[in-house]
Amino acid sequence: MSTHPNEAALLAMITGRADELAEITRDLIRFPTINPPGDAYRPCAEYLGERLRKRGFDVQYIRAEGAPGDTDSHPRINVIARYEGGPGPCVHFNSHIDVVEAGEGWTLPPFEGVIRDGKVYGRGACDMKGGLAASVVAVEALLDAGVPIPGKLEISGTADEESGGYGGVAWLAERGWFSRPRVDHVIIPEPLNVDRVCIGHRGVWWGEIETLGRIAHGSMPFLGDSAIRHMGAVVEAFEERLYPRLADHTTVMPVVPDGARTPTLNINSVHGGQAEPQEGRLPSPVVADSCRMVFDRRLLIEEDLEAVKGEMRALLDSLSQTRSGFRYHLRDLFEVRPSMTEPDRPVVTQTARAVQQVLGRPAALVCSPGTYDQKHVDRIGKLRDCIAYGPGILDLAHQPDEYVEIEAMVQSAQVMALSAWALMSGGK
Ligand SMILES: [Zn+2]
């Protein structure tokens, strides 16, 4: 009996399952797993779990009890399915099952999974139910290849990635589901394009700056102190001192697109003074005593989060020194440290090799400008052997008329099957 699958036959088998791949994607899209609030997690997880149970997987449903948003009406249900083959390593495919709301501007129904012109349309098609379906077809093809599975295969469908992963991968990682010895390699089929292997992501710091003033009558602003003018000074200091410094950074992270290879700072919102006047009403004449800015600072792997916070605080403190009456509060809202695995890890090299084999061109190693669940696998699970690899175009994620190309799903399923086999066989 052979111990190695006939690779040409394996790839042909997956090509022959293109329709099935599209149908699984369609079925998954039909569960409107919108987060927030976290709808339809249970039926979506059960669809996945029951399919894999029939193929000999041991299936567990794990509710993230007590996680943010977990209630009896919206339980945070995760599914993990495991196939015990030989003594080789465990390869885990992790997909989030939640999607963002459909939003406006669709020309097709967002939760029907319309299949047209070689594409499957719907919310979550590319981010990331198409990738989940590809991983299912990849592992099923390995089971059908006629040779014993040399290691272990896992597929998970997890909750709440779009809201930080605290009821999903983070919760599971805290309980050992994403650590050795259970798991050796994790592939997250996020939509990074079929020819790219994503080795990590930038970090995030969201914060709020509030400048303080003193209220007075608007006809005599000299009697007060405008918090909005103080915020203007903050924005000016960003322009003159902070943005040029951010643009100066270089990084080893191959972030795509290129513009994200420096740290970035977005000003999400600025609100000062009274609320916007309602239609037909005049505003009251007062000097603003408070102005708030929410910002979104993205970090490179070379940056230390505490140092980044210190840089912001130093800038604000310098305004306190130079600007009469300047007072502020700085609050943390959310933070994620950057994560990047080493390019010579087997999960990277074997997936890149499989891309070359399937597509006939070298894989690009990239990093994501935004964050995804790799941070939890790395930081909590202490597992460095994690990448994102999957079909679909990242730019389409969260857009109206989101779609995934069936051909890209087939190709990525082929890559996943070859990579998983090599990793379970101990390939370096
Ligand atoms: Zn995603």
| Cα-to-centroid distance, 373 and ligand 1 (Å) | 9
46 lies in the same domain as 145:
yes
Q: Could you tell me if residue 238 is inside a domain? A: yes
Q: CA triplet 367, 140, 131: central angle to 5 degrees? A: 30
Q: Position of tokens 């939003």?
A: 103
| Cα-to-centroid distance, 71 and ligand 1 (Å) | 23
28 lies in the same domain as 162:
yes
Q: Could you tell me if residue 179 is inside a domain? A: yes
State the chain's mean pLDDT as an integer: 96
Q: Position of tokens 């980044």?
A: 308
> Residue 111: exposed, middle, or buried by beta-carbon count in 10 A (0-12, 13-18, 19+)?
middle
| Cα-to-centroid distance, 59 and ligand 1 (Å) | 23
Q: Could you tell me if residue 141 is inside a domain? A: yes
Whole-structure pTM value:
0.93
Residues with CB under 5 A from ligand 1 (ion): 127-128, 190
Q: Could you tell me if residue 1 is inside a domain? A: no
Q: Could you tell me if residue 292 is inside a domain? A: yes
- What is the distance between the alpha carbons of residues 212 and 263, in angstroms, rounded to a whole number? 28
Q: What CATH number does the domain containing 392 carry?
A: 3.40.630.10
What DSSP element (H or E) covers 333? strand 327-336
Q: Is 56 left (phi over 0), alpha (psi -120 to 50) or beta?
A: left
Per-residue model confidence (pLDDT) at position 19: 98
pLDDT tens by residue, 21-59: 999 999 999 999 999 999 999 999 999 999 999 999 999
Q: What CATH number does the domain containing 231 carry?
A: 3.30.70.360
User: Tell me, what DSSP letter sits at residue 36?
Assistant: T
Note down the domain range covering 54: 7-201+338-424
What is the CB-side half-sphere exposure of residue 275 using CA atoms within 13 A? 4
Q: Could you tell me if residue 115 is inside a domain? A: yes
187 lies in the same domain as 215:
no
Active site residues: 98, 161
| Cα-to-centroid distance, 219 and ligand 1 (Å) | 51
pLDDT tens by residue, 221-280: 999 999 999 999 999 999 999 999 999 999 999 999 999 999 999 999 999 998 877 888
238 lies in the same domain as 190:
no
| Cα-to-centroid distance, 99 and ligand 1 (Å) | 8
Domain boundary among 276, 309, 336: 336
Q: Could you tell me if residue 2 is inside a domain? A: no
187 lies in the same domain as 294:
no
